């Protein structure tokens, strides 16, 4: 009975929709996405796509620009916090509420704590992490709300650029040849192909990536496969034994028949 009620409710929602307005709204969303993509600056407003992702991550300056374009204001509220100064542990969950003309439009949540790997280091002053974690939670909440209200989740990732960088560094350090072959390129003339495919089709491009790729993971993987391919096609001659006859000629030795025997 409950399922039937839910289905009827869903159908009634669809039936009461103004399809013309929906088409107009979808067209405007698409136009807005194009404006955002042409306005935001890579490296400042959004970061590069990280290893394992096809979408760049939205950064705080980019989120602020989007909110300005939409005419939205942001308000923040700490909804959960832990401040343990004895142990040096801090955790915050922040809610970001986006409003326009005093009306709430949407909200987002962000969390950060000092046990995250990027903060959990002996090099960090744990007693200074409270403010850092609070600001990070606020930023994550802001980006979460921004992506929701602007329908940009299919263009940018959630606000994980800081953790994405850490995960990228970790994957670079632990990368093996299998990881390198399976790494997919999302740019350039070989977009959509794995480095394993590229190594078979275009060794020159592989060398280019090993020297010029901006993503450290791509650069390391390409270099790894380029070196492997060189080893396979150019085996070392260091341990290759030369025929005794050639060695004798190189040393200036002659056969006994070529000179007189002195006795």
In angstroms, rounded to a whole number, what is the distance separating the alpha carbons of residues 21 and 19? 5
Same domain, 123 and 82: yes
CATH assignment at residue 155: 3.30.160.20
pLDDT at 112: 93
- What mean pLDDT is predicted for residues 167-193? 79
Q: Is 160's pLDDT higher than 60?
A: no
pLDDT one-digit tens code per residue, 77-126? 999 999 998 888 999 999 999 999 999 999 999 999 998 877 776 666 77
Boundary residue ending a domain (159, 184, 201): 159
In the block, tokens 């000092």 appear at 114
In angstroms, rounded to a whole number, what is the distance separating the alpha carbons of residues 4 and 137? 41
Same domain, 114 and 212: no
Q: Is 143's pLDDT higher than 60?
A: yes
pLDDT one-digit tens code per residue, 12-71? 776 777 778 778 877 887 888 788 888 888 878 887 665 555 677 888 888 999 999 899
Lowest mean pLDDT among 41-45, 103-107, 191-195, 258-262: 258-262
Residue 79 inside a domain? The answer is yes
User: 35: Cβ–Cβ under 8 A, 6 or more apart, which residues?
Assistant: 69
Q: Which structural domain, as residue segments, surrounds residue 187?
A: 175-235
């Amino acid at each position: 009975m409950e399922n039937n009620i839910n289905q009827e409710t869903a159908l009634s929602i669809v039936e009461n929709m103004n399809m013309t307005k929906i088409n107009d709204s979808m067209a405007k969303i698409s136009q807005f996405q194009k404006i955002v993509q042409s306005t935001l600056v890579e490296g400042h407003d959004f970061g590069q796509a990280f290893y394992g992702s096809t979408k760049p991550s939205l950064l705080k300056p980019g989120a602020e620009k989007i909110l300005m374009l939409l005419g939205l204001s942001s308000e923040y509220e700490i909804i959960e916090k832990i401040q343990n100064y004895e142990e040096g542990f801090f955790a915050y969950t922040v809610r970001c509420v986006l409003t326009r003309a005093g009306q709430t439009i949407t909200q987002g949540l962000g969390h950060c704590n000092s046990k995250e790997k990027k903060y959990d280091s002996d090099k960090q002053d744990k007693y200074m992490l409270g403010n850092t974690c609070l600001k990070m939670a606020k930023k994550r909440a802001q980006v979460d709300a921004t992506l929701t209200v602007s329908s940009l989740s299919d263009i940018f990732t959630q606000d994980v650029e800081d953790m994405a960088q850490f995960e990228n560094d970790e994957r670079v350090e632990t990368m093996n040849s299998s990881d390198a072959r399976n790494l997919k390129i999302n740019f350039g003339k070989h977009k959509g192909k794995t480095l394993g495919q590229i190594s078979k089709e275009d060794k020159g491009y592989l060398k280019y990536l090993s020297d010029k790729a901006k993503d450290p993971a791509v650069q390391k993987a390409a270099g790894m496969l380029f070196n492997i391919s060189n080893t396979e096609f150019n085996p070392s001659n260091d341990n290759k034994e030369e025929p005794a006859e050639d060695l004798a000629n190189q040393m200036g030795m002659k056969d006994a028949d070529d000179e007189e025997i002195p006795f």
